[in-house]
Amino acid sequence: MAETVWTRAHVRVSGRVQGVGFRYATRTEANRAHAAGWVRNLPAGEVEAVFEGPREAVEALVRWCHQGPPGSWVRSVRVDWTEPVEHLAGFSVRASDWTLGD
């Protein structure tokens, strides 16, 4: 039996991704994929997310981010792949962080 490989993706999505339900749709997709993590808006108009879980689930979420929910328009998706470090449980929509600079 093959061992499940866990991974983590730190994602930043730009385009028309705020005010269109992107964060809540991301949570729905993450729950459907049984992945953990969080998503939030950034002051530069981007959405930031962290996905942890089985590699196939996380890869599917990253692919979904390239499309986004209806009403969104994705310009770019930046992904940093790492080993899971926080061992996150569940998926949350975090409050927008307007204090972060780019």
Catalogue the active-site residues: 23, 41
Count of CB atoms situated within 10 Å of the CB of 5: 9
CA distances from 45 to 27, 48, 89 (A): 18, 10, 27
Closest CA to 64 of 19, 11, 26: 26
Is the four-CA dihedral 66, 96, 20, 35 of positive or negative sign?
positive
Distance CA 29, CA 95 (A): 19
